[in-house]
């Protein structure tokens, strides 16, 4: 049995794959073990280093440390992302529609904006917001996230629209729908559903890019970790950054799994619709002649 792009591996190929997987897994375990040994050698796993989370020094309470990380630091990160995400999506939708419009006086400026902001670093736009526009730290972070991600969202939505069969738009025009009605009622809903995993994945990127606010002084999660390190000392740098990294990983994995769930849900809906259509006609797709003859 053959696949579309390659032949299904035979017994010898599968055996080689299993052997390669075992060797690769052992090599990875050896590398992780060596890293853990080096960390243990440097005293990273000493309980006193990690006591910052349950018995911190300098007469501080553990609740204060966790509050500084989860409420102030993570809260600032989520606040910037929550403001920037809907703005970037809305502007990206406008740019996507503007780029595919036949009027050049609309499409050319849209293309220019997309190509310019897609190629600029996010941190550069944040610095521009602080230094040139005199924005606050939060406003500068939101500004940088919005102007970059709106260009990416625009390209994702445009790709979803142009990937749809041309016959759908032609059929809509044939029944009297205008271009705007066709776009809003037929093309955009399908494009959003088709590209939903990519949109969620870009939201993960947006959330991670909010950590760049650390550079301009915005008190997000990474800045909170650094402030705690400066207060308690360099001895606690690994535990602090380890927990900060774990928080980012948990949030981003949650969003990534959401993207996978939405993709599978959309695929299941499509497959279910096809199955239902076949069941309605006894498992076969009827043609015009069948319906006219009652077959």
Distance CA 102, CA 99 (A): 8
Distance CA 6, CA 77 (A): 45
* Whether 225 contacts 241, CB under 8 Å: yes
pLDDT digits over 96-118, tens only?
A: 988 888 888 988 999 999 999 98
- Model confidence band, residue 182 (pLDDT cutoffs 50, 70, 90): confident
Nearest of 283, 265, 267 to residue 275 by alpha carbon? 283
47-61, 81-95, 276-290: range with highest mean pLDDT: 81-95
pLDDT digits over 34-71, tens only?
A: 887 877 777 777 777 888 888 888 888 888 889 988 89
* Whether 206 contacts 85, CB under 8 Å: yes
Q: H or E element: which one contains 186?
A: none
CA 50, 53, 59, 61: dihedral to nearest 10 degrees? -170
pLDDT digits over 3-14, tens only?
A: 455 567 778 888
**HEC readout, 87-98:** HHHHHHHHHHHH
A 10 A CB-CB count for 123 gives: 17
Q: In this structure, what DSSP letter does residue 185 have? A: I
* Whether 238 contacts 290, CB under 8 Å: no
DSSP 69-83: IIIIIHHHHHHHHHH
The first and second tokens of residue 124, run together, are: 């550069």
Distance CA 252, CA 162 (A): 29
Distance CA 145, CA 153 (A): 12
Looking at the domain 61-267, which fold is it? MetI-like fold (1.10.3720)
pTM: 0.76
Q: Which residues contact 252 (CB under 8 A, 6 or more apart)?
A: 204, 207, 208
């Amino acid at each position: 049995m053959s696949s579309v792009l390659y032949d299904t591996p035979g017994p010898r190929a599968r055996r080689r794959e299993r052997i390669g997987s075992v060797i690769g897994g052992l090599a990875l375990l050896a590398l992780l073990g060596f890293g853990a040994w080096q960390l243990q050698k440097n005293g990273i796993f000493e309980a006193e280093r990690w006591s910052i989370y349950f018995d911190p020094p300098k007469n501080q309470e553990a609740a204060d440390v966790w509050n500084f990380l989860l409420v102030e630091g993570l809260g600032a990160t989520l606040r910037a992302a929550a403001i920037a995400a809907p703005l970037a999506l809305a502007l990206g939708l406008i740019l996507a529609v503007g780029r595919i419009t036949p009027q050049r006086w609309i499409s050319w400026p849209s293309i220019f904006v997309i190509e310019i902001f897609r190629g600029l670093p996010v941190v550069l736009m944040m610095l521009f917001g602080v230094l040139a526009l005199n924005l606050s730290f939060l406003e500068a972070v939101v500004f940088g996230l919005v102007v970059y991600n709106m260009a990416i969202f625009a390209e994702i939505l445009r790709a979803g629209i142009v990937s749809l069969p041309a016959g759908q738009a032609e059929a809509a025009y044939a029944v009297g729908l205008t271009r705007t009605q066709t776009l809003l009622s037929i093309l955009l809903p399908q494009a959003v559903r088709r590209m939903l995993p990519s949109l969620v994945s870009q939201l993960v990127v947006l959330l991670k890019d909010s950590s760049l606010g650390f550079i301009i002084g915005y008190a997000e999660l990474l800045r909170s970790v650094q402030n705690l390190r400066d207060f308690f000392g360099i001895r606690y740098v690994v535990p602090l950054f380890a927990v900060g990294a774990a928080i980012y990983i948990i949030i981003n994995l949650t969003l990534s799994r959401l993207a996978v769930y939405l993709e599978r849900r959309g695929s299941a809906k499509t497959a279910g619709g096809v199955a239902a259509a076949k069941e309605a006609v006894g498992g076969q797709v009827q043609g015009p002649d069948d319906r006219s003859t009652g077959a």
